[in-house]
Chains A and B, each alone.
Chain A
Amino acid sequence: MTDTRRPGLGHACMAVLRRDLTLAWRQRGDMVLPVLYALIVTSLFPFALGPEEALLRRIAAGAVLVTVLLAMLLALDAMFRSDIEDGSLEQLMLAPQPLALMLGMKILAHWLATAVPLIVIAPLLAGMLHLPPPVIPVLLLALLLATPLLSLLGGVLVALTAGTRRSGMLLALMLLPLCVPVVIFAAGALAAAQEGLPWIAPIAWLGAALVLAVVLAPLACAAALRIALDS
C-alpha cells in the first residue's frame, strides 16, 4: 500500500481554489445577488435623506462602506454551508493537508466570488451618492483591505456556526463587534481623504490588521470548525 503519491501543498491549494471558483462560476446567479442588494440599498439613501447633493456627498463614503459590508454579510452564511450539507467539509478535514491552509483557500475563493464584484461596482455606488472623484481611489483601497478582513473574520464565525441549523441573524450579531474596528479605520481613511488630510495612517492600520488576520484567522477557523463539528 505504499505505492502512493502525496499531492504537494501548492497542488492541494490549487485544487481547493479551482473547485470553489468553478462552483461559484456555475452558480453565478448567486454572485449577482449581493451586488443587486448593494445597488438597491445605495439607491434608497437619496430617497431617505433627500436629493441634496452636499448632504449626500458628506455621507457617501460611509454609506458605500457600510452597504458593501452588509452585502458581504448577506453572502457570508453560504461560505461553508453547502460543504457541510454534502459532506465535502468532512472530506476536507480528513485530507492529509493542513486544514487551516485549505480553509484559507476557501475563504480566498469566497472573497474573490463575493467581494470582488462589490469592489468593482463600488465606484458606481459612490457616484450615485456624489462622492468626489478624487476620493474614489481611497475608497477602493480601503475596500481592498477591509473586505478580505471581513471575509477572514467572517470565516471564523461561520465555522463556529457550522454545527447549527440557522445562522443568518446569529452571524450578524456575532460579526458586529468584530467589524467595528474595521469600519472605523476604513471610514477614518475616507473621511480624512475627503477633507484633504493625509489618510495613509488608518490605511496602514487596516493593512497591519489584514496581515495579522491572514496569518491567524485560518488557524482560528480550523480550530473553530473542529470544535463546532465535534458532535
Chain B
Amino acid sequence: MSASPSATPLLEARALSFHRQDEPVFGPLDFCLDAGELTLIEGDNGSGKTTLMRILTGLLHPEEGELFWRGQPLTWDRCSGEVVFLGHQLGLKAELSPRENLRFAIGLHGHREHSHIDDALARVGLAGYEEEPVRKLSAGQKKRVALARLLLIPAALWLLDEPYANLDRTGIELVNGLLEAHIAHGGAALVTSHGAVQFHGGEPQRIRLHD
C-alpha cells in the first residue's frame, strides 16, 4: 500500500506549545505528517524532544495549541492501537526473556500478519538470545529487543525517541532499514535525534526545536 494523497493528514499540529512551571519548553510548532512520511525532530538536550513525543502519544496534555489525528482532535483513545512509541524507557521486563517480552506486547497490541517473534529477533540480530533474560543483555541488545517490537506490532505511526542511542554502526543501519521499510509500506514515523542522521531513502522533513 502506498501513501494515498488524502485531504486530511495523519497527524497535524497547530500552534502546539508546552510550558513547564510556566517556563516555555518549546515554542509554537506547526507541522503535518502524512502516511509514508518521515519527520526528524532535532534539538539539543533539554529542547523538549521527549516532551513533544509524550504529547504526541497523548500521555501528556499540551498546554496550548491543537493536535489532530486523521482530522479529529487527538486524545489518547483516538489513536491508541495505531501508534507505537519507543522511548528512553524501553518497556521491557528485565526478568523476562526477549521472547516473553515480545509475546506480551503482541498479546496487548496484536501482531502483523506473517510476522513471527523469532524472525523479528533474528532480523534485529538477536538470534540465539531468545531465551536469555533481558537483564543479562547489553544496553544495545535491549534496544534491539524493543526495535523487534516495531516489527511485530501493527501501527500507522512510529514515534521513536532517540532510537539511535546505545546502538553501534550496524544497529544504526538496522534502524534506518526498519524506517525505510516502514515508510515504503505507507507508514509514518517521527524520530528524534540530537545528532545529524543520514537516511538513504530521500530527504526527510525536519523540525528544529530550540532551547
The answer to whether the Cβ of B195 comes within 8 Å of any Cβ in the partner chain is no
Interface of A: prevailing SS: helix
Query: What residues of B have a CB within 8 angstroms of the CB of A23 in the complex?
Result: 93, 95-96
Number of chain B residues close to chain A: CB under 8 A: 44
Query: What residues of B have a CB within 8 angstroms of the CB of A226 in the complex?
Result: 59, 76
A26 touches B107 (CB 8 A): no
Closest Cβ–Cβ distance, residue B184 to chain A (whole Å): 11
The answer to whether the Cβ of B105 comes within 8 Å of any Cβ in the partner chain is yes
The answer to whether the Cβ of A86 comes within 8 Å of any Cβ in the partner chain is yes
Name which residue of chain A comes closest to B60, CB basis. Answer: A230
Given A15-B104, A19-B93, does the pair A1, B87 have CB atoms closer than 8 Å? no
B110 touches A5 (CB 8 A): yes
Instruction: Count how many pairs of residues, one from A and one from B, have CB atoms less than 8 Å apart in the complex.
Output: 111
B89 touches A12 (CB 8 A): no
The answer to whether the Cβ of A164 comes within 8 Å of any Cβ in the partner chain is no
The answer to whether the Cβ of B119 comes within 8 Å of any Cβ in the partner chain is no
Interface of B: prevailing SS: loop
Q: Which of A7, A16, A19 contacts B100 (CB 8 A)?
A: A19
A87 touches B93 (CB 8 A): no
Name which residue of chain A comes closest to B89, CB basis. Answer: A87
B91 touches A15 (CB 8 A): no
Given A19-B96, A23-B96, A95-B81, does the pair A87, B112 have CB atoms closer than 8 Å? no
Name which residue of chain B comes closest to A93, CB basis. Answer: B59
The answer to whether the Cβ of B94 comes within 8 Å of any Cβ in the partner chain is yes
With A and B bound together, what is the CA distance between A178 and B11 in angstroms?
43
Closest Cβ–Cβ distance, residue A83 to chain B (whole Å): 9
Name which residue of chain A comes closest to B111, CB basis. Answer: A5
Against A, the Cβ 8 Å flags (1 = close, 0 = not) of B153-178 are 01110000000000000000000000
The answer to whether the Cβ of A165 comes within 8 Å of any Cβ in the partner chain is no
With A and B bound together, what is the CA distance between A7 and B152 in angstroms?
13
Query: What residues of B have a CB within 8 angstroms of the CB of A14 in the complex?
Result: 107
Closest Cβ–Cβ distance, residue B158 to chain A (whole Å): 11
With A and B bound together, what is the CA distance between A229 and B57 in angstroms?
12
Number of chain A residues close to chain B: CB under 8 A: 36
B89 touches A85 (CB 8 A): yes
Query: What residues of A have a CB within 8 angstroms of the CB of B111 in the complex?
Result: 4-5
Closest Cβ–Cβ distance, residue B192 to chain A (whole Å): 16
B96 touches A1 (CB 8 A): no
Query: What residues of B have a CB within 8 angstroms of the CB of A19 in the complex?
Result: 93, 96, 100, 104
Against A, the Cβ 8 Å flags (1 = close, 0 = not) of B68-91 are 000000001000111111011111
Name which residue of chain A comes closest to B114, CB basis. Answer: A3
Can you give 11 A-B contacts (C-beta < 8 A)? A1-B35, A16-B108, A27-B95, A86-B93, A86-B94, A87-B88, A88-B92, A90-B91, A96-B109, A97-B108, A230-B60
> B residues engaging A (CB < 8 A)?
1, 20, 35, 57-61, 76, 80-85, 87-96, 100, 103-114, 154-156, 185-187
7 more A-B residue pairs beyond the given contacts A102-B108, A229-B59, with a C-beta to C-beta distance below 8 A: A1-B156, A22-B100, A86-B92, A87-B88, A87-B91, A88-B91, A91-B85
